[in-house]
Chain A
């Protein structure tokens, strides 16, 4: 399926039903404490085609090294300059979720955007946080993300919108998030390209199957 969405819940029956109804695949994101938890989730998701993602809430290089080869993807939760800088300065991180909070001054800037573009880190907005925000907070989010995506577009940083649902009712059709990007000042064609191109981005990064790509290099086995 061309559309991918990232969620924070791991109820397989709910995910399967949503995948069928919404016509998309899911990346299940969780802050794993150890390898055993990750292994358990992998077993739970076996045969579904859903991917796993480790969520990092601290700028910790050891944690990144530990889960890099084990989880399919690595995501860093932003909303903090230190975490944003950590995520943007390494190509081992795949997603930077919510780089900005609802503060008056956005935590993401042009310098970080340039770093993210160099290391091919995808900037992602979590829709569920906007869905559950009050009117005042929503206004701040809109202001900060209009700026963030404007900067991302200027420096050619990959960006997208995920539902980041904590329950099945917060999940949305990934295709519809192109309208959300339009609302944040992105042109319709670019927005559609960004939402559809997520699989392409992961493929380019060599991570669509969850492993670093080694096939395709001719003569690798010789």
Chain B
């Protein structure tokens, strides 16, 4: 009987590539919902960079704190500037005008969570 592996062995951290976490703020009149913000970021980045660009950015939406309109985005270190530029291209979410602002870039999500709190 052959044993089928349920999970593949995780890649060692040294081979995963370095990442950065971007803390951004969306200055808007009302609190925004995480799902809408995530969808809008994906749409805008796809429009700007395409599938290949987004793949190389290793983009991952970590979370959005609606009450403060602060969000965290994970990306690869090499494409960090590209991601920051992509974020400032956002101009409206759900019909509401927003002014994006990069608050901080960090190597760990923990530091950013402290800032959000």
- Listed in ascending order, the chain A residues whose CB lies under 8 Å from chain B are 18, 21-22, 127, 130-131, 135, 138, 167-173, 175-180, 182-183, 188
Contacts of B48 in A (CB 8 A): 138
User: Quick check: A22 and B101 within 8 Å, CB to CB?
Assistant: yes
Contacts of B81 in A (CB 8 A): 178-179, 182-183, 188
Further 13 A-B residue pairs, CB within 8 A, beyond A131-B89, A180-B85: A18-B99, A21-B99, A127-B88, A131-B91, A167-B97, A175-B102, A176-B87, A178-B81, A179-B81, A179-B82, A182-B81, A182-B85, A183-B81
Chain A CB within 8 A of B27 CB: yes
Q: Which of A170, A173, A177, A178 has the most CB of B within 10 A?
A: A173
User: Quick check: B98 and A169 within 8 Å, CB to CB?
Assistant: yes
Q: How far is the CA of A167 from the CA of B51 in the complex (A)?
A: 32
B69 to chain A, nearest CB (A): 12
Chain A CB within 8 A of B84 CB: yes
**Which label, helix, strand, loop or mixed, suits the secondary structure of the B interface?**
mixed
Q: Which residue of B is nearest A171, CB measured?
A: B99
| A172-B85 contact, Cβ under 8 Å, with A21-B27, A131-B91, A135-B47 | no
| A169-B82 contact, Cβ under 8 Å, with A22-B101, A176-B101 | no
**Which label, helix, strand, loop or mixed, suits the secondary structure of the A interface?**
helix
User: Quick check: B85 and A169 within 8 Å, CB to CB?
Assistant: no
Q: How far is the CA of A212 from the CA of B66 in the complex (A)?
A: 48
Chain A CB within 8 A of B100 CB: yes
User: Quick check: A172 and B88 within 8 Å, CB to CB?
Assistant: yes
| A179-B85 contact, Cβ under 8 Å, with A131-B91, A135-B47 | yes
Contacts of A172 in B (CB 8 A): 88, 99-101
9 contacts between A and B (CB under 8 A): A21-B99, A21-B101, A169-B92, A169-B98, A169-B99, A176-B100, A176-B102, A178-B81, A183-B82
B82 to chain A, nearest CB (A): 6
Q: How far is the CA of A21 from the CA of B26 in the complex (A)?
A: 11
Q: How far is the CA of A129 from the CA of B57 in the complex (A)?
A: 25
User: Quick check: A173 and B102 within 8 Å, CB to CB?
Assistant: yes
Contact residue among B47, B82, B87, B89 (Cβ-Cβ distance under 8 Å from A182)? B82
- Among B67-117, those with CB < 8 Å from A are 81-82, 84-85, 87-89, 91-92, 97-102
